[in-house]
Amino acid sequence: MLDIRDLLENKEETTRLLSTRNTEVNLDELEKIYNKHKELLIEKEKKESIRNSVSREIPQLKKQGVDVSKKIADMKTIGEEITALKKEIDNLNEKLTHTLLRLPNLPQPVVPVGKDESANIEKRQWGEKPNFNFKAKPHWELAESLNIIDFKRATKISGARFAVYRGLGAKLELALINFMLDIQSKNGYEIFIPPFLINSASLTGTGQLPKFAEDLFKCENSDYYLVPTAEVPLTNMHRDEILNEDDLPIKYTAYTPCFRSEAGSWGKDTRGLIRQHQFNKVELVKFTKPEDSNDELEKLTQDAAHVLELLNLPYRVVLLSTGDMGFSASQCYDLEVWLPGQNTYREISSCSNCTNFQARRANIRYKNKNTGKNEFVHTLNGSGLAVGRTFLAILENYQTAEGDIIIPEVLRPYMGGIEKITNKSI
């Protein structure tokens, strides 16, 4: 959440920055509400001070035999006025919060301005694209021919945008999860297995609620939601806490299944594993001091890219534009893996610096030793990686002319020594 004082300090610049995020807001109206809110708070405090003073005075006057009936009547009137003020203050606060919770984070100066992905900037590429002497197949054809994913039965069991991993397909998916967790543990991230059901306070803290409720799966008659990403439980581990500065940066990683309604995406990426309602992901989360967050974003992005490099999967790093970044991000890099079966790059990780945006919403602070004050941390997150997309990238990059899949060497210990998935393996 943005600090309203920062928003109103330079309304023209704030309006411009929000417009680059495809967001319009009437800051003049917001300022009127904010000023009225402050005015009523001051008035309430004055009346409370009078009431407290007279309340202390009445017992003394009674002892002196003074008639205090008028003062008691006056105090009753003041009490009613205070109650009315509280109600009006609460209404104004609700209006302010309603607006602030729906405003995206402001972009950093390095972020390219643009309405959508067309303004993104490629920063670098890594790896050599495979040069096949045959026509590369897309992953869904390879997976079905090897009988390692069953899309038809998944549709029967659940519906569209689901997959059943089976046999060596299931083993490869699990191998990737354990491999990724091992790598990030070596990179200094503490491993967690968080709950897969989370409450609305957690989702509000990281920015999914209230604006993106339609993207979530909610459990009926409860405050539980299926986790959309481990970013939510990991970040909310420290909601309403004050962290020790000496402990920063704090680095967490977790595996969870992720559940997304994919609202508004119908007709997009309907084939294969690209856009599923349920998928596995290993997430990276950091809590840092404000002055360190930009450097920590570069390190986090490289930690995610390191997995691709160990798997020898070609990728590129893209700096997202103001119109393509996620709601909570102030700067974001996408890692896009090369998919020869589709002859294109596809996102496999988004790595974001959320500055103090989530920390304000979740009230996560640290004790600044220099100032002695409690200040908001900066939070960062990134996929390390989306497991299903890594799975399909291996299928497409490691396919053979016979339709087999070579297992990357670093994964073989996690696969029980299996070097290749073939029809004979089934």
Q: What residues act catalytically?
A: 260, 275, 347, 350, 389
Strand positions, DSSP E, 2-148: 121-126
d(CA 86, CA 90): 6
CA dist 426 and 423 (Å) reads 6
3-class state of residue 300 by DSSP: helix
User: Of 424, 425, 391, which is closest to residue 408 (Cα–Cα)?
Assistant: 391
* Phi/psi of residue 421, nearest 5 degrees: -105, 120
CB 120 within 8 A of CB 114: yes
The answer to whether the CB of 40 falls within 8 A of the CB of 89 is yes
Alpha carbon separation from 398 to 290, 350, 415, 419 (Å, rounded) = 42, 24, 15, 11
Helix (H) or strand (E) holding 264: none
CA–CA distance from 327 to each of 21, 107, 204, 231, 398 (Å)?
9, 10, 12, 14, 35
Q: Is 373 exposed, middle or buried (0-12, 13-18, 19+ CB in 10 A)?
A: exposed
Rounded distance between C-alpha atoms, residue 23 and residue 20, angstroms: 7
Query: Are 219 and 249 spatial neighbours (Cβ–Cβ below 8 Å)?
Result: no
User: Which residue do the tokens 């590369």 mark?
Assistant: 136
Q: Give the Cα separation of 254 and 233 in Å (integer).
A: 9
Contact 398, 407 (CB under 8 A): yes
DSSP assignment of 136-147 equals: PPPHHHHHHHTT
Q: How far apart are CA 154 and CA 417, in angstroms?
A: 29
Return the H-helix or E-strand segment holding 216.
none
